[in-house]
């Protein structure tokens, strides 16, 4: 099965409260899975990588063989495509995990998108988690 993976990670502040959004669709645009999750305190770059990792794991779980991946993090995409080196020690383990996970797929292509042109927006999956302050529930 060929699938399209849309990912987004975001943090309010850098670092700050962070969240990920993942949408996986088939070639016809039918949504197969979506994830919207608060991931705690993180930088924006860490959130982007965690969204990618979660999306890759979900795509593998769904049985995808080929992936077209859309994201908006130029840094992460260029690092994953080996155009940029990973220099930050906090990103290196996430990068290595992602490189290991993409090997599961027969083919993958990681591309940049622009929010205005994105067919399946994921920012609505991350925004609620970081827009409002996190409140602790009483014990």
Q: How does the average pLDDT of the chain come out, rounded? A: 85
Q: Identify the pLDDT of residue 123.
A: 56
For residues 78 and 133, give the distance between their C-alpha atoms in angstroms, rounded to a whole number.
Answer: 32
Q: Identify the pLDDT of residue 13.
A: 87
With a cut of 60, say whether residue 132 has pLDDT above it: no
What is the CB neighbour count within 10 angstroms for residue 130?
19
Give the residue from 111, 117, 126 showing the smallest Cα distance to 4: 111
Tell me the domains of the chain and their CATH numbers: 2-131 (3.30.420.10)
What is the percent of the chain with per-residue pLDDT over 70, rounded to a whole number? 81
**Average pLDDT rounded to a whole number, residues 25-50:** 94
Which is higher by pLDDT, 136 or 35? Answer: 35
Q: Identify the pLDDT of residue 138.
A: 39
What does residue 78 show for φ and ψ, rounded to 5 degrees? -70, -35
Is residue 47 helix, strand or coil?
helix
Q: What are the Cα distances from residue 41, in Å, to 16, 36, 45, 53, 127?
A: 5, 16, 12, 17, 14
- 66-71 and 2-11: which strand pairing? parallel
With a cut of 70, say whether residue 102 has pLDDT above it: yes
Q: Identify the pLDDT of residue 11.
A: 93
Q: pTM for the full model?
A: 0.84
Highest mean pLDDT among 59-63, 78-82, 108-112: 59-63
Q: Identify the pLDDT of residue 117.
A: 52
């Amino acid at each position: 099965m060929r699938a399209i993976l849309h990912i987004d990670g975001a943090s309010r502040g850098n670092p700050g409260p962070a969240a990920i959004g993942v949408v996986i669709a088939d070639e016809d645009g039918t949504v197969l899975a979506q994830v919207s999750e608060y991931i705690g305190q993180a930088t924006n770059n860490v959130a982007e990588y965690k969204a990618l990792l979660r999306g890759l794991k979900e795509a593998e779980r769904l049985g995808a063989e080929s992936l077209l991946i859309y994201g908006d993090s130029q840094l992460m995409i260029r690092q994953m495509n080996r155009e940029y080196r990973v220099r930050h020690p906090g990103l290196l383990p996430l990068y290595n995990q992602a490189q290991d996970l993409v090997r599961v797929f027969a083919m993958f292509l990681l591309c940049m998108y622009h929010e205005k042109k994105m067919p399946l927006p994921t920012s609505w999956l991350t925004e609620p988690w970081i827009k409002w302050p996190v409140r602790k529930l009483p014990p």
